[in-house]
């Protein structure tokens, strides 16, 4: 076993302390990644604070982190895609059954047996706990690692592994591109990636937000429209305007209001997870032949496609880099939306 170190919380108080633990030895198909940066995703906070129980039990000690980028420092004898020194990424899962239609179809996140999550989960043996990216090293099968071709600063790449693919996948699936009018609801870690990606895909993008103060930022990211959804007149004026709406909001909100902004055959995809179940008026969908859908990250092939797309278009996440002693402060600020737009932990110098 490999002795390594990370930062763990022992309970739902989510106080992070140095934590020594073991990674498995590098097997024939494994690579060892020396982690450089780990992004802080809102779902880290939910799980560290046990806010998703009982749906998602929190397992302690917990080392969160599923937006991981680092340098390959060792490869197994059968590894073909990576060499020592390469930059590699790990996203939300690190293994799956490899046999079900989802796994063989490259959408391993929907593995019917349940994929092995990067942390707060177990390996596919259902016994060995997984520890995430708030740590110095990770051992992963090369099939579940991503190649990062970008050079230079890696901090803005880490969040692509969750925030990037979470927004890229539904934009691609529903045909966002030139001539499409796209709305992105919420301008946080997910939303700012949604805006950048939809703009790069050639769509006309409008940001929907409850904070009018975010309009300049939205426009700087490439949005050409902005609707303050607290302003009833503005919402009425924008009714029926959009072909596609990406809903990244994790606070409770009224889906019917957002559906009213879609035009005929419009599609709204939910990627944010509010804590309360939502009320949906059937007329909100029936009236315009509308679709309300969900989406969960992306499979390994599409995550690689997204990283390559971002490298081609010079897209990274806007980040604030912190040292690991500031994780709790970063959690509080993330909950208050007081970050542009993602915290990234410097693990290389930790």
Closest to 265 measured CA to CA, from 293, 238, 237: 293
Q: Where are the beta strands (DSSP E) in the chain?
A: 2-8, 17-23, 30-40, 68-75, 87-90, 93-95, 116-117, 121-122, 129-130, 137-141, 146-147, 181-185, 204-209, 225-228, 242-247, 262-270, 291-294, 319-322, 342-346
* Binding segment toward Zn ion, per CB under 5 A, in 37-45, 168-176, 224-232, 315-323: 37-45
Q: Which stretch binds Zn ion (CB under 5 A): 34-42, 261-269, 286-294, 328-336?
A: 34-42
Name the nearest CA neighbour of 350 among 49, 45, 133.
133
Q: In the complex with Zn ion, which residue's Cβ is closer, 43 or 228?
A: 43
- Give 200's contacts (C-beta < 8 A, 6+ positions apart): 309, 313, 315
Residue number with CB closer to Zn ion (44 or 142): 44
- Given the complex with Zn ion, which of 48 and 162 has the nearer CB atom? 162
**Binding of Zn ion at residue 87 (CB under 5 A)?**
no
* 41 contacts Zn ion (rule: CB under 5 A): yes
Nearer to Zn ion, 21 or 110 (CB): 110
Q: What is the dihedral of CA 159, 161, 164, 168, to 10 degrees?
A: 180
Q: Beta partners for 185? A: 208, 247
Rounded to whole angstroms, the Cα distance separating 304 from 281 reads: 38
Binding part of the chain for Zn ion, among 110-118, 217-225, 248-256, 308-316 by CB under 5 A, reads 110-118
- Considering beta carbons, is residue 52 or 235 the nearer one to Zn ion? 52
Q: How far is CA 78 from CA 4, 82, 233, in A?
A: 24, 10, 62
Looking at beta carbons only, is 86 or 108 nearer to Zn ion?
108
Of 115 and 206, the one with the shorter C-beta distance to Zn ion is 115
Interface segment toward Zn ion; rule CB under 5 A; list 43-51, 127-135, 167-175, 333-341: 43-51
> Please, what is the Cα angle at 51 between 45 and 55, to 5 degrees?
120
Q: Please report whether residue 124 would count as binding Zn ion according to CB under 5 A.
A: no
Among 8, 40, 87, 103, indicate the residue that binds Zn ion (CB under 5 A).
103
> Number of residues in contact with Zn ion, rule: CB under 5 A?
8
Ranges within 137-196 binding Zn ion (CB under 5 A): 162
Out of 100, 257, 291, 350, point to the residue binding Zn ion (CB under 5 A): 100
Please, what is the minimum distance in Å from the beta carbon of residue 342 to Zn ion? 10
Q: How far is the CB of 41 from Zn ion (least distance, A)?
A: 3
**Does 96 sit near Zn ion (CB under 5 A)?**
yes
Contact between 112 and 14 under an 8 Å Cβ cutoff? The reply is no
Question: Which residues of the chain form contacts with Zn ion (CB under 5 A)?
Answer: 41, 43, 96-97, 100, 103, 111, 162
């Amino acid at each position: 076993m490999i002795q390594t170190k990370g930062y763990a919380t022992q309970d739902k108080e989510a106080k992070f302390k140095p934590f020594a633990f073991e990674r498995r030895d590098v097997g024939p198909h494994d690579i060892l990644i020396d982690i450089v940066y780990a992004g802080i995703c809102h779902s880290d906070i939910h799980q560290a604070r046990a806010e998703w129980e009982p749906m998602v039990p929190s397992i302690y000690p917990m080392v969160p982190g599923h937006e991981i980028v680092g340098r390959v420092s060792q490869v197994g004898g059968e590894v073909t895609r990576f060499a020592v020194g390469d930059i590699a990424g790990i996203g939300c899962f690190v293994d799956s059954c490899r046999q079900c239609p989802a796994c063989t179809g490259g959408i391993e996140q929907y593995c019917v047996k349940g994929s092995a999550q990067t942390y707060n989960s177990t390996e596919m043996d259902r016994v060995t706990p997984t520890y995430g990216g708030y740590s110095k090293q990770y051992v992963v099968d090369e099939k579940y690692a991503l190649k990062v071709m970008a050079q230079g600063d890696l901090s803005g790449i880490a969040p692509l592994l969750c925030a990037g693919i979470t927004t890229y996948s539904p934009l691609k699936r529903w045909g966002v591109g030139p001539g499409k009018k796209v709305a992105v609801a919420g301008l946080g870690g997910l939303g700012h990636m949604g805006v950048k990606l939809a703009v790069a895909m050639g769509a006309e993008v409008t940001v929907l937000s409850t904070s009018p103060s975010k309009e300049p930022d939205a426009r700087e990211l490439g949005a050409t429209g902005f609707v303050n959804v607290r302003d009833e007149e503005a919402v009425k004026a924008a009714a029926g305007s959009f072909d596609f709406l990406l809903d990244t909001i994790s606070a409770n909100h009224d889906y019917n209001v957002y559906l009213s902004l879609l035009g005929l055959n419009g599609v709204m995809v939910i990627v944010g997870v509010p804590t309360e179940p939502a009320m949906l008026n059937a007329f909100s969908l029936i009236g315009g032949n509308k679709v309300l859908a969900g989406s969960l990250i992306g499979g390994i092939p599409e995550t690689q496609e997204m990283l390559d797309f971002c490298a081609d278009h010079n897209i990274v996440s806007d980040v604030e880099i912190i040292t690991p002693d500031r994780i709790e402060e970063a959690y509080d600020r993330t909950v208050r939306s007081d970050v542009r737009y993602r915290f990234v932990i410097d693990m290389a110098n930790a």
